[in-house]
Amino acid sequence: MSNNISSILQENRNFFPSKKFKKQANITEQIYQQMLLKAEKNNVGFWADLAKEKLTWAKDFTVDLDDSKAPFYRWFTDGKLNASYNCIDRHLTDKSDKLAIIFEHDDGKVDQYTYKELHDEVCRFANALTTQGIEKGDRVIIYMPMIPQAIFAMQACARVGAIHSVVFAGFSSASLRDRIESAGAKMIITTNVSIRGGKTILVKKSVDEALEGGGNSVCKVIVYARTDYKIAMQDKRDIYWHDVVAGMSNYHDAVMVESEHPLFLLYTSGSTGKPKGVQHSTGGYLLNAHLTNEWVFDLKDDDVFWCTADVGWITGHTYVVYGPLSMGATIVIFEGVPTYPSAGRFWEICQNHAVSVFYTAPTAIRALMKFGDNLPKQYDLSKLRLLGTVGEPINPEAWIWYYKVIGNESCPIVDTWWQTETGAVMIAPLPGITTMKPGSCTKPLPGIDAKIVDEKGNVLDNGEGGILVIEKPWPSMIRNVWGDEQRYIDAYFKQFANKYYVVGDSAHIDAEGNFWILGRIDDVLNVSGHRLGTMEIESALVSHQLVAEAAVVGKPHEIKGESVFAFVVLNIDIPSGEKREILMQDLKKHVAKEIGAIAKPDEIRIGINLPKTRSGKIMRRLLRTIAKGEEITTDTSTLEDESILKQLQKTPETF
Ligand code: WTA
């Protein structure tokens, strides 16, 4: 029996890009082969040439990569540039009147900004930041909803060389306080309120709570008045956005910074411990952000790109703000929620703004799938030409639905694997050439040296499951855990003595070289000596017609090591009594049929929802505790809805 992670979910369907798509794709087979060859021969030179070609430098670099202090890698070290200049100014010669941002409010109102207008807004705010005492290297927290001012604020920070750290506006004041403290932030940029799904959410109030009692580094709070809702303003500390920009010039000379100057910090929760401040660079980050929009999202001048991620997450940084803007693309941003005023909202936005490239998360796809095929069919989605997913493995069931019902079988789907730490997509189809397999993120992008190794670090053969690692450094990789070099080494490099960047996911490569992500390492079950990725069992459950969502965890088991414990959400009301028993048996049989008896859940608990973070990630740590029948004693403040836990803790009999 193999020691490595067993992968027993077989998904053999192949999907090919259409002739029409192939013909117009940015990356053709020929370009792809040339890139692979070049990256193979000289990986560092491959990236350096692209950095020279795609980015605008104020001072050219002569050092491509400094690895003298590995694993603290430094790219394009002696070059100087500005990220905001690359995202805005360089487009003004030919794209000044092109739409940069289409903003749809929660209530359906639409605002638009051309590149020239974006430039003016960002410059005025950059001048305001300087006037308020912000200098190169200062940390600024942005705690705002999905409105254009969040993007202006990010760009303005980049423009003056300040390091922004966007904190998702759904995070509690306690989480905000931790991040303020860790970053040593001098300023917070926020809104009085945010509007989502018709509700008014008090954003500034959380800032006040986070700063309560003083003793922190924050000197100024800039408040954008999203509505005329009155809030308390603290004298000297708090100042309105419209007041700080009043009288400011729309000209600002972007501060050119070293390539390695931190562009931003983004806090990400590890499975345990305090959130990590993932530190990204300017030049390296921007390069991969730019390239992946060109390669994977195939962006063209006439595309309208809607990535539904919030700017509070890395996806919002790379595929809403920095990547698309550095390409001079038109983006859509949306303030509201997918189900308000109806579950057709996403499709309505795609229709109304002629969205051509659409990027969202499997959790959203599965949630919208529940409303059936007829809803999306009421909208004209014919402008869509490319679809993407990110954040977790997409179960083939959802993939097929996305492909057929949303993409009308004519849009390639790019299942993009990456992380906050990688800065940009690492493994994904190139939509004009890659054969797609539902559930696989397919192949590493040119220049990305992804491998699967065993616990000793030996590279495994195709077919064997193991630990996903990246061997060669790449430009947009994490530079440090802010203020904690040891944690950077421990979390990502120590396991194999600095030889690899350790991703924390398990995966396997199939016979054709496609990568299949099995889940986080800690989401791997070991049942009777078989190590099973939880995702495979979840996929099988979701392929049952009555199951909308599923999460699987391991529960310690005397004989098997671990038993499979499944939490499911149904498409129907939760049945009671005998009907529920019959359904449970049916689900178990279904998994046995889809994967094999080994994966059959020992226990299934039906819930009205799963415990998720506000970004839609299922918190398996909590499910593991519930499965064991133990009390939850750890922090649950990042949950979208804490009441879900109570419901899941009840055994079916007590419903
Ligand atoms: C998971 C999000 C399978 C993975 C950009 C990774 C995925 C973690 C995929 C990073 C995918 C992301 N298929 N799993 N296409 N994309 N993941 O930092 O476990 O929020 O390590 O970055 O999400 O999550 P993060």
Q: Whose CA is nearest to atom 3 of ligand 1?
A: 393
d(CA 433, CA 622): 41
Q: With 90 as the cut, is the pLDDT of residue 558 above it?
A: no
Q: Which fold has domain 115-255?
A: Rossmann fold (3.40.50)
Q: Is 288 in the pocket of ligand 1 (CB under 6 A)?
A: no
**Paired tokens of 189:** 């940029």
Strand residue runs (E) in 442-593: 450-453, 465-470, 480-481, 501-509, 515-520, 524-527, 530-533, 547-557, 561-570
Residue range 171-213, pLDDT digits in tens: 878 779 989 999 999 999 999 999 999 999 999 999 999 999 8
Does 501 score more than 70 pLDDT? Answer: yes
Q: Mind listing the pLDDT tens digit for each residue in 54-69? A: 999 999 999 999 999 9
Tell whether pTM > 0.85. yes
CATH architecture of the domain with range 524-654:
2-Layer Sandwich (3.30)
Q: What is the pLDDT of residues 385-437, one digit of tens each?
A: 999 999 888 888 899 999 999 999 999 999 999 999 999 999 999 999 999 99
* Cβ of residue 18 lying under 6 Å from some atom of ligand 1: no
Measured from the Cα of 268, ligand 1's closest atom is 18
Q: Residue 529 above 70 pLDDT? A: no
Q: Are 268 and 276 in contact (CB under 8 A)?
A: yes
Nearest CA residue ID for atom 25, ligand 1:
419
Q: What are the boundaries of each domain within the chain?
A: 115-255, 524-654
pLDDT band for position 270 (50/70/90)?
A: low
pLDDT at 528: 67
The DSSP element (H or E) to which 80 belongs, if any, is strand 80-81
In this structure, of 299-303, 366-370, 632-636, the range with the lowest mean pLDDT score is 632-636
Handedness of CA 493, 497, 499, 500 (dihedral sign): negative
Give the pLDDT of residue 651. 65
Q: Indicate if ligand 1 lies below 6 Å from the C-beta of 520.
A: yes
Residue 1 reports pLDDT greater than 60: no
Residue whose Cα lies nearest atom 8 of ligand 1: it is 419
Instruction: Answer whether 501 contacts ligand 1 (Cβ < 6 A).
Output: no
